[in-house]
Amino acid sequence: MAKRSVRLKPDTTSDWCFRAMTASTVLLAGCGGGGEPGSATAPPARAGQVWEVQAAEERAYIPGSIIAFVNGVHVMVVDDDRVYAGMTALETKSGSDGAKTITFASGLTADLVPSAQGGEMRFSSGERVPVRTRASE
């Protein structure tokens, strides 16, 4: 009698669940942190201004927009001398003419410089991007 080989059909549902669980674990592993600058904090006692990166039509501002997005400051709350990227308080120092220097956990810094059109973020790596206060919603 000839040997018969039985080929089992893979269970696509369990394969999909395994992949989803693996992806979730990888994504959640990146969410953590300690009590250093750049870690989650309690919300501010009062409301600050919401600032956002302006949609840049000039190609020169695209790298700055990307740097701002990666560091979470494409939208931020500015409350006097404090800056929040979501619930993350960023280390800041006040400078001359109302400028603020923001230090990120990576060591990168950005000067938030006010101007007549809103402001500009000038990153220590050389990129720049215009910012403005968000219109009330």
DSSP state letters, 63-94 = HHHHHHHHTT-SEEEEETTEEEETTEEEEEEE
pLDDT, position 127: 94
Per-domain residue ranges for the chain?
A: 49-133
- pTM higher than 0.75 for the full model? no
Note the pLDDT tens digit of each residue in 95-113.
Answer: 888 889 999 988 999 999 9
pLDDT, position 34: 41
pLDDT, position 53: 87
Taking residue 17's Cβ as centre, other Cβ atoms within 10 Å add up to 11
What span, in angstroms and rounded, lies between the C-alpha atoms of 15 and 21?
Answer: 10
